[in-house]
Amino acid sequence: MKKHYNIAIVGGGPAGTTAARFATSQGASVVVLEKDREIGVPVRCAEGISEDGLTKYVDINQNWIASTITDFGFISPSGKMVVFHSPTIGYILHRRLFDHALAEIAADMGAEIYTKAYVHGLRRDGSKTTLYLRHIGTETEVESDIVIAADGIESRIAHLAGFNTKLSPKDVEPCAQMQLANIDVNPNRGDFYLSNNWAPGGYVWAFPKGENTANVGLGISGKYAGNKSVLEYLKDFVAEKFPKASILTTTAGGVPVSKALDKLVGDGLMVIGDAAHQVNPLTGGGISTAMAAGKMAGSVAASAVKDKDISAKRLSEYQKQWDKTIGKDIKRLYRLKEWAINLTDTDYEDIARSLDGLTPEQVTLVKIFKQAVKKKPSLVIDVLKVFAGF
C-alpha cells in the first residue's frame, strides 16, 4: 500500500468499485479500502436489479445471474394475487460474484484494492486528507487528494468529515432476509406480499434464485419498529407461507429510505451510495443508484485531480449531475413512500379487487399506482413522472 493516492475510496461495494473504475479510466491513482475480509461478503441485499439498471454501467456476465425475472406478483393480505409482466427484464444476482467482478474490473484498470482495511480516523490538512486505518491488524496511514465515502448506511467517514448523516426512524427500514430452499416458487416471477400483519409499513419479497430456492425477506417502516423484531416478523411469515423450507442463510440490516443527503461534497470529500442515502425510498433498492453515483463521482474526482482543483465548488459537479437526474426521481419516490407506509390492509385489498380479472398484459405499474393513490390525487403526477418509462 502506497502512502499517497489521488483518490482513496472507503468501501468496496458497487458504489465504491464503480467510482474506482471510472476514476482509474481517467488516469487517477486509486485505492479502495474495504473493512470486511472479502468483497461482497456478507450479502445484505435482496439482489434484484433491472436489466436497464445494470447495462448502463457494466456489461452483463451470465455467471452473475441467478434468475431472470419476466413477471411480478402482488399478493394482498387475503391472498389475492395480481400478476403483471415486468416492464423491463429483471435479474436476481449472485451478489458475491457480482461484487467480486466489479472489483476485478476496477483492479484490472489499475485500482488497488485492500480488504480487512478498517478506516477509523480522518484528518483534513490543507489540500490533503489523511486516513488512519488498521490493515490486517497493523496500524497505518494513507494520504489522498480526494476521499470518497462509500461505506454504507452507517458511514463512519461521512460522519467524521462533518456530513449530517442522521436519519429519523421513519426513514430507516430494518430488514431481514433468508435464502430458502425446498420451496415452490415461480423461477421467473418476483413476488411482493403486502400486509401490515406481515410487514407494517413495508413489504415482503420472494425473489427466486432457481427452481426451488429464493431470497425471502421483508422490511418494515422504522416508525413501527420496536414491538416486534424484523427477524420475528420474517420467521412468522416463513412459518406461515413456506413451512417446509430449509433455511440456508439469514441476514439482517438497515436500509435508508430517505431523500439523498442535501450535501454530497466538501473540500476533497465526496459521499456516494448508501452512505449518501442514494436508495430508492419506495422499494429500498440501491444497486443501480449506487453504480450511477459511483460513475458520476469517480469521473468528476479524476477530472478535478487533473485540474488540481479539489475544492467543494469543483467537486459539486457530481452533486449537480445527481440532482438533475436520479435525485429528482428520488424526491418523487420519497413522497410516494411517505404515503405508502400508511396504507392499511383494507387499502391493499381494494387495490387488488380493482384489478381483479385483468390479464397480466393489461396490468401496469402506472395502473396499479394510479388506483392506489385515488384517495390522494396530488400524487398522480409523481406516479406518472416516476413510471413514465414503464
pLDDT in tens, 51-72: 999 999 999 999 999 999 999 9
Q: 251 CB contacts (<8 Å, ≥6 apart)?
A: 42, 43, 44, 176, 177
For residue 378, is pLDDT > 80? no
When mean pLDDT is compared across 222-226, 244-248, 384-388, the lowest value belongs to 384-388
Residue with cell 453515483: 293
- Are 39 and 99 in contact by the 8 Å Cβ rule? The answer is yes
When mean pLDDT is compared across 37-46, 132-141, 208-217, 365-374, the lowest value belongs to 365-374
pLDDT digits (tens, 9 = 90+) for 90-121: 999 999 999 999 999 999 999 999 999 999 99
Nearest one of 124, 122, 104, 121 to 113, comparing CA atoms? 104
Count the alpha carbons within 13 Å of 3 in the hemisphere toward its beta carbon: 0
- Binned at pLDDT 50, 70 and 90, residue 173 comes out as very high
**CA dist., res. 349 & res. 313, Å (int):** 50
For the chain, the residue count is 390
Alpha helices by DSSP H, the chain: 14-24, 51-55, 95-108, 156-160, 230-241, 287-307, 312-324, 326-340, 345-354, 365-372, 380-386
pLDDT digits (tens, 9 = 90+) for 285-324: 999 999 999 999 999 999 999 999 999 999 999 999 999 9
> Amino acid identity, residue 171?
D
Q: Is the peptide bond before 169 cis (omega within 30 degrees of 0)?
A: no
Listed residues 324, 349, 381: the one ending a domain: 324
Largest Cα separation within the chain, whole Å, is 66
Indicate if 76 and 146 belong to the same structural domain: no
Number of neighbouring beta carbons within 10 Å of residue 166: 8
For residue 382, is pLDDT > 70? no
Listed residues 275, 298, 324: the one ending a domain: 324
Would residue 330 count as lying in a domain?
Answer: no
CATH number, domain of 138, equals: 3.50.50.60
The dihedral through the CA atoms of 98, 100, 103, 107 has a sign that is negative
Would residue 381 count as lying in a domain?
Answer: yes
Indicate if 363 and 262 belong to the same structural domain: no
**CA dist., res. 169 & res. 258, Å (int):** 10
At 365 the pLDDT is: 79
Nearest one of 43, 87, 124 to 287, comparing CA atoms? 43
Q: Which domain holds residue 106?
A: 4-44+96-167+258-324
- Binned at pLDDT 50, 70 and 90, residue 389 comes out as very low
- Are 137 and 122 in contact by the 8 Å Cβ rule? The answer is no
**CA dist., res. 246 & res. 229, Å (int):** 21
State how many domains the chain has: 2
